Structure 1
């Protein structure tokens, strides 16, 4: 009420022109204060907020791009993992198959005592078939071309005798269960023969 009385008394003796001037001055002062003090602050705040908004929009767009890239990478990784799992399963089946196959070939497992006995029998059987032993040699080595059948022994026998005796002798070893093959056979007109056997096996 006091403020109202004060304003009433203040404007009581004023002319309309004075009141108009007072209103104009008041509006001018308010405009001055707004323009020189409030507006710069508001403008600075607006500029700052617009800049922050632009930065946020750019960051959001960048994150969206990264998200799409990650989604694509995850999808590719899942495909790769699936392919690797299929490959792993296939290799496991192959290994199981070969392990089972090798277990059936226990007769071909390398054993130096067994193979030495086999070589000795080859020499004795030549004599038993009526062939005269002229010379004999054998060599054992690894076969790096194959993963499983990786042992080989070459057995070279030089004998002399009748051709029919030679046929019986060779035929006997061509029908054994061991992995033995006649890889070379040479003959002379004197009834001399060179036979090269190769014995195959597997082992460490």
Structure 2
């Protein structure tokens, strides 16, 4: 059975909420993590370690079959991008609610990437700008409104921002997103941008 392992030290311990999320979770110092981790395990690294980036990099190299997640008391996009650059599959607040910790675990165990909605919007926007081709093509499977929503996702807007810009409710945006994901066979916003780029559909036309 897969484990949740927390990298502990004199300056980093799991929060009570993490322990609530994973009552069977284990706290080890680095040598213990390396000795006990098995492929498929999730290893949580607290950014409170003075050398957390080096520790993270070492664990990624030594434990290629594990999923590394960084938690931070003061999360910010620069730190998150540094964590992802070193090989982390997730990044979240060290005091997240137990249900969010479990969501992060589920996503990374299934090969996904967890960075939170704010950073994901930035990443998606950057990817859209970098990948957008010159041609303006609309995926034929999308309705006019779905194409509008998809275009704003490519621009890096959140559901709330899309709702405000298009004059619709956030619930309606979520419904359109569900339809878009299903029609294009994607699971998240970043996959949507990459999927559209494969077919030169990023620069969706304004109607």
- TM-score tier by shorter-chain length is under 0.3
How does the TM-score come out when normalised to structure 2?
0.21
Richer in helix (by share): 1
Which TM-score applies when normalising by structure 1? 0.22
Flag the structure with larger Rg.
1
Pick the structure with more strand per residue.
1
